[in-house]
Amino acid sequence: MFKTTSLKTIVVAGITAFLLLAVVPARADDVAVKIGNFTFGPQDLKVKAGTTVTWTNEDDIPHTIVSANNFRSKPLDSDDRFSFTFTTPGTYRYFCSLHPHMTGTIVVEAATGSIAPPP
Amino acid sequence: MTDRNDGLNRRKVLECMTWAGTGVLWTVAGGVPTSLGIIDEAVAAEQKGFTFLQISDSHMGFDKPANPNAKGTLEEAIGRVKALPERPSFMIHTGDISHLSKPSEFDDAERIISQARLDVHYVPGEHDLLDEEQGKLYRERYGRGSKGAGWYSFDADGVHFIGLVNVVDLKAGGLGNLGNEQLEWLEDDVKGRSASQPIVVFAHIPLWTVYPQWGWGTEDGARALGYLKKFGSVTVLNGHIHQVMQKVEGNVTFHTARSTAFPQPSPGSAPSPGPMKVPDDKLRTMLGIASVTFKQNEQRLAIIDTPLQG
């Protein structure tokens, strides 16, 4: 079958690729986390690899988003945002380095749907 | 600290109480030879007691609804200090000088606080270590002569003062943190000191567990207090929670000071410990300063919290 690639197969593949290109970059996968009342909401999140997560501080006090060895935001004053794109599957625990009782987790699944071991 | 048997026995405590009042203590602790004449002079000098001030949580740069003018209320607080009938010996600041560790915020704090014309001994709050290099600015301005992240000790009027830093290297899910290096330094710092020397420890986050759900406590605070068990008079002064709270446990008095910037809710009384908006005419009753006096014949220091109003 692979040796006798028909025009039809190429066309189907082309259409599929076009559809993927059209679908994957869609913003539907990007996720927002709100920081309010000294909590991350949602606190635990599951996303597909490639997802960009954006945290917005809605408190009247600064917060940070820190995940050891992965990412560290600047202090976010009220209404400030921080974004991180998760490309590698795994479990990312993070916290606010000013108020360490504030914790959250992002589980990043491979784009195919299975969860890879932590990075 | 809950095990009373580990602490001082009653006789020892009473001994310390007697000593603390006579002035002899100050002399001995200061290392001055115990000649009678010198002791008498010391007693005379200490008759009135010795007073220092605590201010905390100035949060220069804070401009949210809970207090859009944190600069103004710090100025009022310093105005109170200047108006005191008895000039205090010096001031301690228990952290959160700034809101976002910006140079302009530290500048504002310096300009206003220096108007009191008193020496100020600082420890950082977590808001003072938010620059790129996590505290470089603070240490450049306030850390001269300090160790590590900014801890140090000094003696004044026979009292041993210890400034600790419990806002560095905080762990996810945890509370304030002193860390091993600082704790070892503390153990060494108090080793060999007379048990009758009064100790004042000051740090930003309460060293005792006030309300762990809001992170109001210090993970390894108990270890620090363990090194101070032999002392007859220990006073622990903190900020961070923007309200007055006091607890006495054995020979240790724990006390937190008001902020000069904005109040925070009492533990568990609100969904979060965030800045608390109160009616404008109430704000100044919830901000203020504390004065601490060593008085004759008292083991415990007299702490007077003065609000900006009321």
Give the Å distances, CA to CA, from B306 to B117, B177, B254, B259. Answer: 19, 29, 17, 11
Domain count for chain B:
1
Closest residue in B to A95 (Cα) is B172
Closest residue in A to B62 (Cα) is A61
Phi-psi label, residue B59: left if phi above 0, alpha if psi -120 to 50, beta otherwise: left
List the domains of chain A with CATH numbers: 28-109 (2.60.40.420)
pTM of the model: 0.81
Q: What percent of chain B has pLDDT over 90?
A: 78
Beta bridge partners of A52: A85
Beta strands B288-294 and B302-307, pairing class: antiparallel
Strand order in the sheet with A66-67: A44-48, A103-109, A90-95, A66-67, A71-72
The per-residue pLDDT for A49 is: 95
The residue of B64, B96, B126 whose CB has the most chain A CBs within 10 angstroms, and thus the best one to mutate to test that interface, is: B126
For position B223, which CATH number holds?
3.60.21.10
CB contact under 8 A, B274 and A93: no
CB B79 within 8 A of CB B224: no
Residues B86 and B83: their CA atoms lie apart, in Å, by 9
Residues A55 and B54: their CA atoms lie apart, in Å, by 37
pLDDT in tens, B63-114: 999 999 999 999 999 999 999 988 999 999 999 999 999 999 999 999 999 9
Predicted interface score ipTM higher than 0.90: no
What are the residue ranges in chain B where pLDDT is below 70?
Answer: 1-48, 296-298
**Can you tell me the mean pLDDT for A30-46?**
97
Binding-site residues on chain A for chain B (CB distance < 8 A)? 37-39, 59-62, 68, 75, 77-78, 93-95, 97-101, 103
Residues B303 and B292: their CA atoms lie apart, in Å, by 4
The residues, ordered by sequence, that sit 6+ positions from B32 with a Cβ below 8 Å of its Cβ are B38, B42
The residue range of the domain holding B81 is: 4-307
